[in-house]
Structure formats: C-alpha cells, structure tokens
C-alpha cells in the first residue's frame, strides 16, 4: 500500500519524479472524503460525490489547494518572524483561495487548479525573499510544504486525494489529535470567508478599520496555517491551536461588524413578508453588502430589491423606491472625497435622482442629494 505519509515525504522534495509517484499512487486512490458540512452523507462523510453536488475531482483539488495554501501561509509566517515583508498578493491569494474551498462556493476544478499553480508560484517568491535575506528555508525543521507543480488536472486530482482528511488522520497519533486539527481547519476557513467580506468593504471605505488591524489579522492567519499544516502531536498544543482559531474568528467578526456599521449604518430589526409574489427575485445574503450597494445604486427597478434592508443607509434606497424615484447618477464615497478635497469621509454619497411628476409641479425634476448617514 502506497501510504499518504510516504507520498507526502516524496512530494515535499522539488525534484520528485511525478510520473513514477503518481502511477504508483493511482492504484490505491480513494475517490474523495469530505465532511466539512452538516449535510454530509449519513452524517459521516461523502465518499463518491458531495451531497452539495461537488464531484470527487473538485474535492481532491480543494484538499490539495488547502495543502498548498497552507504552505504559502507557512512561508509567510517565517517571513514575518524574520521581519521580511510579505507581498500584498499573498494576502489576497490566501483569502480568495481558502474561501473558495468553503461549501458551495466554487466547484470549478479549472479555477481551483489555477489557485494551486498560484500557490506554488507564491511559495517560490517567498522562498526567494527569504534566501535573499539570508534565511535558508530548506534548513528549517519541519520542512516547508513545497512541491513541483505539474500542469495536469488528473495528476493533481490523484495528488490531492493524499492530502485530505484521511491523509491528515494517518499522520496523527490519535483520533482526538486529528479531530482538533480538523476543528482548526474549518475554523480558519470560516474566519477567512468573513475576513474576505470585511476586506471588500474596506476596499470601498478605507476607514472601516485600520491598516494596522488588517495586518494583524493576516499575521495571525500565517501563524495558524503554519501550526495547522505542521501540527504538534501534543493534545494541549492542539487545544491551544483550536482556541487561538476561536480568538482569530472573534477578531475577524469584530472587524466585519465594525466595517458594516461604519459603511452602511447600524442594523435595526425590520419586518419582512414571507408571502410569495409573482415575478423574479435575486437573493443577496449579508455576505454581499458591497454587491447589494452597487445594485442599489445602479438599478432603476427598486421594487425587486428593497424588501427587508436592515441597515440605515440602505433603507434610504427603500424610501426612494416608495417614491418611485430613479437614481440617474451616483458619485461613490471615494470620488466625493476627491471632488470636495476631503481626505477621508466615509458617510457620504452624491445621488442624482429623478422624481415622478405626481410629487412635483414640473414634468421633469432632477435633484442632487448629498447624503450623509450614520
């Protein structure tokens, strides 16, 4: 039997002969194993196809992506400890790639493959940065998660099957240790998804939270990925890892809440009908507030969008809907600041609105609204 431990040791060497390794491994590859959601098959794990619709190849590629992305985080952690600057592309990659492995987010195997390729490229960049600074990463113990990328989807599928749940379990000494490692992984995935949303809000509102706070979250992420991919075999250490993931999650949620409040006002309870109505609808979750804002600004069919906004700023669009008003032009927050020569002003939006004649004496009436909100 070609064990996961043996394959792992082989692929960590950049000069691995992939043809020999994968042809041997192919004979003993399980289709998939995924139990990250509560709807998993029989409550134990999906082994042929996910209940969510994810196929085995995508599942294995996502497992390999987590492995390679953790390797990027591992090297970034070494950079941070040695005061070597981590490129911003690393941060964006970690958020996008890990988020893509969350249930029902991305089932595109080719896209997942491109993330794996990017991970290997970033590992190479970080290794070069460390080498240039006098740090020889291959002398570290444990060795970093690196392997030579092969541009073959089927080969990566086979390789990924040796980096999933079962493979991690075979490398741990006890089920409790493995369970804590998996708790840490899914906690990291969830926190990364929420931080991705927070960073997207911050991209349109730089004062949502500070750059210092953002950098601190990324540094914590590097450390957690490093400890996940090279886990301790001590129960107390792994309990500590799981607890630190919990603290990481709380900090991310604090920043996300702060970003929402700073950008859209405070959420307040609202009544919403649940009775079906004729026509089309688009459901937008609380994760996609920036998309919802852009839709609100750029669509003239308000009646489809303003059923149950909870944020005070977005309620303004519901008010326009009741007036049957049409937004003709919007100047977003950052442009407002430029036009008014204001360095930072997050609670402002300029709208040009046309109101119907039923509310006015003239046939055409345009008003410019400078909207400040809390």
DSSP code per residue over 80-107? HHTTPPPPHHHHHHHHHHHHTTSTTT--
Query: Looking at the structure, do residues 252 and 297 belong to the same domain, yes or no?
Result: no
Q: What is the pLDDT of residue 101?
A: 94
Q: Which residue has the higher pLDDT, 203 or 196?
A: 196
Query: Looking at the structure, do residues 182 and 75 belong to the same domain, yes or no?
Result: yes
Residue 144 lies in a domain: yes
Residue 217 pLDDT class (50, 70, 90 cuts): very high
Q: What is the pLDDT of residue 100?
A: 94
Residue 269 lies in a domain: no
The kind and range of the H/E element at 330 are strand 326-331
Q: What is the pLDDT of residue 121?
A: 93
Instruction: Provide mean pLDDT across the span 223-235.
Output: 92
Residue 55 has phi, psi (to 5 degrees) of -85, 170
Q: What's 77's domain CATH number?
A: 1.20.1270.20
What gap in Å lies between CA 219 and CA 87, rounded to an integer?
12
- 88-to-78, 111, 120, 341, 345 alpha-carbon distances in Å: 16, 21, 16, 28, 25
Q: What is the pLDDT of residue 138?
A: 56
Query: Looking at the structure, do residues 232 and 368 belong to the same domain, yes or no?
Result: no
Residue 74 lies in a domain: yes
Query: Looking at the structure, do residues 242 and 327 belong to the same domain, yes or no?
Result: no
Residue 270 lies in a domain: no
The kind and range of the H/E element at 126 are helix 109-132
Q: What is the pLDDT of residue 297?
A: 61
Residue 280 lies in a domain: no
Q: What is the pLDDT of residue 284?
A: 64
Q: What is the pLDDT of residue 215?
A: 96
* pLDDT at 208 exceeding the cut of 90: no
What gap in Å lies between CA 181 and CA 234, rounded to an integer?
11
Sheet holding 348-354, edge to edge: 326-331, 348-354, 366-372
Q: What percent of the chain has pLDDT over 90?
A: 35
Query: Looking at the structure, do residues 223 and 332 belong to the same domain, yes or no?
Result: no
Q: Which residue has the higher pLDDT, 330 or 55?
A: 55
What gap in Å lies between CA 67 and CA 163, rounded to an integer?
7
Q: Which two tokens stand for residue 188?
A: 């990291």
> Which positions ≥6 away from 198 have C-beta within 8 Å?
208, 209, 252, 255, 256, 259
Query: Looking at the structure, do residues 213 and 315 belong to the same domain, yes or no?
Result: no
DSSP code per residue over 156-188? HHHHHTTSSHHHHHHHSSSHHHHHHHHHHHHHH
Instruction: Provide mean pLDDT across the span 83-106.
Output: 94
Q: Which residue has the higher pLDDT, 63 or 23?
A: 63
Q: Mean of the per-residue pLDDT values for the chain?
A: 75
Q: Which residue has the higher pLDDT, 367 or 309?
A: 309
Query: Looking at the structure, do residues 351 and 215 belong to the same domain, yes or no?
Result: no
The gap from C-alpha 190 to its chain's centroid, in whole angstroms, comes to 8
Length of the chain: 374
Residue 348's domain spans which residues? Answer: 286-372
* pLDDT at 213 exceeding the cut of 90: yes
Query: Looking at the structure, do residues 291 and 246 belong to the same domain, yes or no?
Result: no
Q: For the segment 57-79, what is each residue's pLDDT rounded down to a tens digit?
A: 999 999 999 999 999 999 999 99
Query: Looking at the structure, do residues 367 and 252 belong to the same domain, yes or no?
Result: no
What gap in Å lies between CA 358 and CA 324, rounded to an integer?
10
For the entire predicted model, the pTM comes to 0.76
Q: Which residue has the higher pLDDT, 212 or 3?
A: 212
Residue 180 lies in a domain: yes
Q: Which two tokens stand for residue 252?
A: 């991310």
Query: Looking at the structure, do residues 67 and 140 belong to the same domain, yes or no?
Result: yes
Residue 352 pLDDT class (50, 70, 90 cuts): very low
Q: What is the pLDDT of residue 110?
A: 93
């Amino acid at each position: 039997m070609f064990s996961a431990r043996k394959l792992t040791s082989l692929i960590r060497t950049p000069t691995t002969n992939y043809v020999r390794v994968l042809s041997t491994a192919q004979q003993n590859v399980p289709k998939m194993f995924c139990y990250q959601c509560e709807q998993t098959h029989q409550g134990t794990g999906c082994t042929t196809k996910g209940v969510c619709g994810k196929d085995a190849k995508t599942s294995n590629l996502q497992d390999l992506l987590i492995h390679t992305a953790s390797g990027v985080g591992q090297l970034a952690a070494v950079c941070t400890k040695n005061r070597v600057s981590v490129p911003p592309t690393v941060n964006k990659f970690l958020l996008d790639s890990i988020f893509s492995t969350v249930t029902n987010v991305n089932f595109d195997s080719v896209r997942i493959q491109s993330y794996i390729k990017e991970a290997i490229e970033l590992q190479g960049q970080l290794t070069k940065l460390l080498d240039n600074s006098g740090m020889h990463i291959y002398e570290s113990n444990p060795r970093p998660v690196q392997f030579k990328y092969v541009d073959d989807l089927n080969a990566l599928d086979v390789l990924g099957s040796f980096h999933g749940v079962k493979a991690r379990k075979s490398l741990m000494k006890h089920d409790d240790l493995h369970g804590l490692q998996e708790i840490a992984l899914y906690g990291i995935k969830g926190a990364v998804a929420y931080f991705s949303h927070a960073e997207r809000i911050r991209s349109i509102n730089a004062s949502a939270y500070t750059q210092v706070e953002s950098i601190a979250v990324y540094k914590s992420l590097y450390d957690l990925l490093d400890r996940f991919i090279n886990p301790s075999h001590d129960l107390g250490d792994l309990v500590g890892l799981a607890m630190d993931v919990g603290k990481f999650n709380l900090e991310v949620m604090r920043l996300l809440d702060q970003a929402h409040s700073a950008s859209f006002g405070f959420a307040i309870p609202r009544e919403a009908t649940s009775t079906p109505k004729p026509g089309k609808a688009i459901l937008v979750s609380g994760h996609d507030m920036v998309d919802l804002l852009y839709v609100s600004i750029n669509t003239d069919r308000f009646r489809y969008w303003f059923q149950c906004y909870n944020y005070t700023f977005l309620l303004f669009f519901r008010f326009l809907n009741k007036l049957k008003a049409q937004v003709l032009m919007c100047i977003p927050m950052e442009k407002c600041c430029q036009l008014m020569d204001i360095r930072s002003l997050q609670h402002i939006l300029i709208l040009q609105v046309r109101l119907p004649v039923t509310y006015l004496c003239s046939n055409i009436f345009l008003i410019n609204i400078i909207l400040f909100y809390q």
